[in-house]
Chain A
Amino acid sequence: MSYYDIDDILADSQPGSPIKENVRLELPIWLAEILAICSISNSSDYEENDQDRETTFLKLLEPEFFSPVFLNFIKSDALRLNLNPYMFYYRIVTKWSNMFGDAELVELISKALVDRACELNDLSFKLNDHFRGSNLEFMNNLDSYEKQLFKNSHKSYKNLKIWWLKKPN
């Protein structure tokens, strides 16, 4: 099935029946955003349009990774947070705050990012210590951006070390 085909998605989640009101659907964020913003109204009637502004195709439910429980967990210990299942967590945060402008969320996630980045930097500096004990757990909990970050940082430290120890030819 092609991922962005709305028909496919709908067919997949609602086999054989039309989408009824108050049904929960999982949609890609770009689609959900549009449908949540577009209002259903008679374009001919401006008066009504204004009043009906609140009616949209769908309402966004708060995803699990922005739930208060999850955010509290971040607050208490960002280092033990597992972002691996979300893949693009920081990107999602960006998109989310694009829609809702949630300053508190951004501040919280920014802080978590810096905390995690510190730990990541420390690990990337050590040449062979990152797959041991609790380090391994942390390394498994990275999202894709953090993995890339680790790789680049590690490479940079390693290159300088190699250069410094290189014998002249």
Chain B
Amino acid sequence: MSSDLSRYRTVSRTQAGGREPICGRSMMCSGGRCDFSSGTSRRTGLVSTYCLGDKKSRGEQIPLWLATLLKKQEKCNIVVPEWLSVEYLRVRYDEEIKYPSKFSNLPWHWLPIAKKLLDYASDDFIDPPHEIRSLLQDLREVRLVKARKGIRELNHVYIQLDGLSLMEINEMRPFILEVMDQLRKMNDSLKVKAEEETPRQAAAQMDRDDESDDDIYQKE
């Protein structure tokens, strides 16, 4: 998934201005991009952000950890990404209900980003944070129920996780891996036998026919 979705912007406060944010959302401009992100962070897309760095209205893109740090020190405001709005999440929620066998398209890191922003920048949200929070919770539950329904389809070779985000995959990872591994082990054991059989069967197929197991396996 592209990291664009997980980017978000910060609005800096002037040094003199102190508390009040100078730039509202409407004044946002893309501004110069300062890229603090290291290789790792760029890969995860978690930490590339915009922040307004210039005196009044520059957006800069900075890592999420830095933005929350600055936010904690009240040095900037964070521009919350578009998908963290009641409207957007509601649409996603309706989608989840409408298509019971599909996951709606959410950012790859939607859970951690939403949590971080709700924790540290709840005053920067345009919509009321508690509504966002409960919508996120609803979304999560709907998706979790779907994901757990999918377990019924587990087999030893293949699993499809379209649309699930990383955190949701990780939540079920220990379970799914262990079950699939056990299924694989049991099914692989058949192959061992089959491979043993092939050369022998070729040699003595006529004699032994389908009683090939009788020498060691006798039912009483």
Contact = CB atoms under 8 A, between A and B. Distances in A.
Chain A partners chain B: yes
Interface of A: 36-37, 53-54, 56, 59-62, 90, 93-95, 97-103, 106, 109-110, 113-114, 117-118, 121-122, 124-125, 145, 148-149, 152-153, 155-157, 160, 163-164, 167-168
A61 B119 CA distance: 63
B171 A61 contact: no
Contact of B218 (A59, A109, A117): A59
The 5 A-B residue pairs with the shortest CB-CB distance, nearest first, are: A101-B193, A168-B119, A153-B175, A152-B174, A36-B216
Nearest to A167: B119
Interface size class of B (residues with CB under 8 A): 35 or more
Contacts of A98: 189, 192-193
B148 A121 contact: yes
Which of A60, A94, A124 lies at the interface centre, i.e. has the most chain B CB atoms within 10 A of its CB?
A94
Contact of A56 (B174, B175, B192, B216): B216
A69 to B, nearest CB: 13
A61 B220 contact: yes
Contact of A97 (B173, B179, B189): B189
Interface of B: 111, 115, 119-120, 144, 148, 151-152, 154-156, 167, 170-175, 178-179, 182-183, 185-187, 189-190, 192-194, 197, 213-220
Main secondary structure on B side of the interface with A: helix
Main secondary structure on A side of the interface with B: helix
A82 to B, nearest CB: 19
B173 A56 contact: no
Contacts of B178: 145, 148-149, 152
Given A61-B218, A100-B193, A114-B152, A90 B173 contact: no
Contacts of A90: 182, 185-186
23 contacts: A56-B215, A60-B216, A93-B186, A94-B185, A95-B189, A98-B189, A99-B217, A100-B216, A106-B187, A110-B155, A110-B186, A110-B187, A113-B179, A113-B186, A114-B152, A117-B154, A148-B178, A153-B174, A155-B174, A156-B170, A156-B171, A160-B171, A164-B115
